[in-house]
Structure 1
Amino acid sequence: MSDASFPIAIRAGEVAPRNRPSNYPQPIAARLAGREKRVLGDLFGLRNFGVNLTRLAPGAVSALRHAHASQDEFIYVLQGRPVLRTDAGDTPLEPGMCAGFRAGSGDAHQLTNPTDAEVVFLEIGDRSADDSVSYPDDDLVARAGAGGWQFTHKNGDPYPGQQG
């Protein structure tokens, strides 16, 4: 059975980048300069997991180092040589390598691009409801709810523009 409102197939690199570069509040969002996401899963109406084609310019990072309580994540490197930073330290990656991050493990992760070349990778994550995210290196906590992601300081105070 087909749903005519969704495409059969697309060229991922031709999908327009996400309008909003980051969900993080300012000034934290500014730290993600050089990251570009092309949201792919939504184009097909996927509900249980998301897929993004992500590009990191030289010196850029994928996200703040973080760990999800309820959502699994997986990355697959297509181009470039990023470094995966986890609680265990730094692991150099190259095209064809992948990594997975099990929900609830508490092992925070982040990709960095310390090279002069662009990095391109696929990121896949589930959409478990009521997720929370810890950021061990930053004064930030995120919680997913019906209204989207809400960000607070670790003491519970909301960032400007957040309901808390």
Structure 2
Amino acid sequence: MSKLMKIHPIQAKAIPENKSKPFYPEPFASVVKGRTKRKLGDYFGLENFGVNFTTMSPNSTSALKHHHSKQDEFVYIISGTPTLIYGDEEIKMSSGDCVGFKANSGIGHQLINESSQDVVYIEIGDRSRNDKVEYPDDDLAFSQMSDGSWSLTHKDGSSY
């Protein structure tokens, strides 16, 4: 019989914001300047998938347009009206909308906040090993190493 861990629910906004620098190098880091994340999954010690409570201020972006080779992603909009960029499409979203991105689709995606209000959403992604992230519009590539760390390079494999 396993021991029960004591669980205490907490308001998502009470979990501290992630204060680390964006993992993108400049000039890409400035693209996500108005985005803040609260790493809910990490707070609870989750290992198989990540959950982020994310806020984008007006004129900010969730990430560079990207797609994963191994990791599925899911987004649920809590408030605001972001624009989903999916391939060449622009799709307006609003509170209550959700969308999923299957791994290895080859179709880049990102959210942009073109409104005058904050956008708040939950993002969920699995933590499949050996993932590669491609950025179709930028000279950037991420590859996950066997120890779980990430290698950031130009598309030709040279280091930043």
TM range, smaller chain? over 0.9
Change (3 A) 1:147 1:127: closer
Shift in Å at residue 49 of structure 1? 0.3
Shift in Å at residue 118 of structure 1? 0.4
Cα deviation code 1:67-86 (max 9, x no counterpart): 00000000000000000001
Cα deviation code 1:20-62 (max 9, x no counterpart): 1422123321221100000001111111000000000000000
Structure 2 residue runs without a partner (length 5+) = none
Task: Indicate the percent of aligned positions where both proteins have the same amino acid.
Answer: 45
Residue 3 of structure 1 aligns to which amino acid in structure 2?
M
Instruction: Provide the residue aligned with 1:24 in structure 2.
Output: 24
Structure 1 CA distance, aligned partners of 2:58 and 2:75?
Answer: 18
Change (3 A) 1:103 1:113: same
Structure 2 CA distance, aligned partners of 1:157 and 1:88?
Answer: 28
Q: TM-score, normalised by structure 1?
A: 0.91
CA contact (8 A) 2:129 2:148 kept: no
- Runs of 4+ displaced beyond 2 Å: 1-4
Structure 2 CA distance, aligned partners of 1:30 and 1:88?
Answer: 22
Instruction: Provide the residue aligned with 1:148 in structure 2.
Output: 149
The alignment partner of 2:30 has SS state of helix
Q: TM-score, normalised by structure 2?
A: 0.94
Structure 1 residue runs without a partner (length 5+) = 160-164
Instruction: Provide the residue aligned with 2:38 in structure 1.
Output: 38
Instruction: Provide the residue aligned with 1:72 in structure 2.
Output: 72
Structure 1 CA distance, aligned partners of 2:33 and 2:136?
Answer: 21
Instruction: Provide the residue aligned with 1:11 in structure 2.
Output: 11
